[in-house]
């Protein structure tokens, strides 16, 4: 748990920065010393390359290690899964035997093959964060300057709330990212470049979030005037929703001020008219019946079940009748694992990878909470791909519609 909560603000109360003009050459000229907006090493489409070739090379190497650790044939996950089956067989158990979490942990936590797989994954994650964070920290003054300058840029708007009472659940270091989403003023930078490793090199153009936005179902009456993304982090899905619905008013909301600060800078840099707000998903502050669509992407497992219950009530409140909620998370398109290896991965993620609620989330009744909040639930809704590993194959995903 962390207490570091330096939230970047531009005023003593809620800071609202709005602009309607496109990004202009004058804005670029004003920020000649800016660290990233000038993209000193150029761009790949919408992706600004890291300013340091050394760090970029290191990150590419770590991504390849991650592929070996968890993706493709002949990788460490495959070896670890095979080893778990051997351990089950040694105990006279079927490979599909359903053990308790305690039994799984006792069986595998000291096995060299299984734990080498887990340690390689963890080390890759730690080194990924360190590489990008060290780069941005040494250039902190420039990063802070460009964030500040971007507040005056458009299109789009930014609302930061320095007086927001951040709940304890939001203060932990998600995915062991140093400082988490609220405790480091440069969290958006670290998250953006660090998560390229998560997506094993397949998300430099926001391909995954673009896929989520493309899959999101619309209300039956076809009216899409206002869209909200809760837990928007750096706005990758938010901007993708705006690209799909250019005439709609699109909002991204996150508890992390540094995250939405970076999100606004990036959206303005891309010329995308999106509005960002620092607020709680369980208390957005928007009026009743305000949005036609609400979308969330991989945030539910980062929140205690009790808070998710409140979030579902809030989603229902801000949606208008016939409005659609499209949540994409671990168990919105498939069931929690019952096999020994699947349970081990969930436990390990919880224990070492900054996922305090990963285990309790396995028992979360999302559909039940949505129904209790007055929404109809279809568990075979539009298919989604939760992580982009180069595949476009998705599974039917839960969709909720407000009565």
CATH number of the structural domain spanning residue 260: 3.40.50.150
207 with 314, same domain?
yes
Q: How far apart are CA 142 and CA 366, in angstroms?
A: 43
Q: Is 150 helix (H, G, I), strand (E, B) or coil?
A: helix
Full residue range of the structural domain in which residue 321 is found? 15-47+139-341+355-402
- 398 within domain boundaries: yes
Domain boundary among 104, 126, 148: 126
Q: How far apart are CA 298 and CA 289, in angstroms?
A: 24
- 6 within domain boundaries: no
- 134 within domain boundaries: no
pLDDT at 390 (0 to 100) = 59
In angstroms, how far is CA 47 from the centroid of its own chain?
Answer: 17
Q: Tokens in use for 297?
A: 């992407």
Domain boundary among 126, 158, 178: 126
The series of mean pLDDT values per 10 residues for the chain, 403 residues long, is 34 34 36 63 92 95 89 79 96 95 96 94 95 96 92 91 96 95 97 91 92 97 98 98 98 98 95 97 98 97 97 98 97 95 94 94 98 98 81 86 96
Q: Do the bridges between strand 15-19 and strand 156-160 make them parallel or antiparallel, or are there none, so unpaired?
A: antiparallel
- 3 within domain boundaries: no
- 10 within domain boundaries: no
318 with 387, same domain?
yes
- What is the domain count for the chain? 2
pLDDT at 30 (0 to 100) = 47
Q: How far apart are CA 397 and CA 190, in angstroms?
A: 30
Q: Tokens in use for 18?
A: 């709005």
Domain boundary among 77, 92, 126: 126
pLDDT at 389 (0 to 100) = 59
- 161 within domain boundaries: yes
37 with 63, same domain?
no
| CB-count exposure of residue 337 (10 Å: 0-12, 13-18, 19+) | middle
289 with 164, same domain?
yes
20 with 90, same domain?
no
How does DSSP classify residue 122?
H
């Amino acid at each position: 748990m962390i207490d570091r909560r330096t939230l970047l603000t531009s005023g003593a109360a809620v800071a609202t920065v709005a602009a309607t003009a496109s990004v202009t050459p004058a804005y670029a000229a004003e920020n000649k010393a800016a660290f990233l907006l000038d993209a000193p090493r150029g761009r790949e489409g919408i992706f600004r390359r890291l300013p340091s070739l050394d760090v970029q090379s290191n990150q590419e190497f770590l991504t390849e290690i991650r592929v070996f650790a968890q993706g493709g044939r002949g990788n460490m996950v495959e070896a670890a899964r095979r080893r778990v089956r051997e351990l089950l067989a040694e105990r006279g158990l079927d490979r599909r035997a359903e053990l308790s979490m305690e039994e799984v942990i006792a069986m595998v936590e000291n096995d060299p093959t299984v734990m080498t797989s887990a340690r390689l994954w963890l080390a890759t994650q730690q080194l990924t964060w360190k590489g990008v964070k060290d780069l941005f920290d040494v250039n902190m003054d420039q990063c802070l300057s460009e964030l500040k300058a971007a507040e005056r840029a458009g299109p789009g708007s930014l609302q930061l709330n320095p007086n927001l009472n951040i709940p304890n659940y939001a203060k932990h270091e998600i995915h062991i990212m140093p400082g988490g989403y609220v405790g480091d003023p440069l969290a958006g930078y670290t998250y953006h470049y660090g998560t390229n490793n998560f997506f094993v090199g397949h998300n430099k153009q926001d391909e995954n979030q673009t896929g989520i936005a493309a899959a999101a179902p619309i209300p039956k009456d076809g009216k899409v005037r206002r869209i909200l993304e809760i837990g928007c982090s750096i706005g990758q899905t938010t901007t993708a929703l705006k690209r799909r619905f250019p005439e709609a008013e699109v909002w991204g909301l996150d508890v992390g001020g540094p995250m939405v600060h970076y999100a606004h800078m990036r959206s303005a840099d891309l010329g995308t008219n999106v509005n960002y707000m620092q607020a709680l998903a369980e208390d957005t502050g928007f009026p009743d019946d305000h949005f036609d669509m609400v979308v969330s992407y991989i945030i539910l497992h980062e929140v205690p079940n009790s808070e998710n219950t409140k979030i579902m009530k809030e989603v229902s409140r801000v949606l208008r009748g016939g409005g659609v909620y499209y949540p994409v998370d671990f168990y919105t398109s498939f069931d929690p694992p019952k096999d020994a290896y699947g349970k081990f991965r969930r436990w390990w993620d919880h224990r070492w990878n900054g996922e305090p609620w990963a285990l309790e989330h396995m028992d979360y009744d999302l559909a039940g909470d949505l129904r209790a909040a007055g929404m109809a639930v279809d568990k075979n809704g539009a298919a989604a791909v939760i992580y982009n590993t180069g595949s476009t194959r998705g599974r039917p995903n839960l969709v909720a519609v407000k009565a």
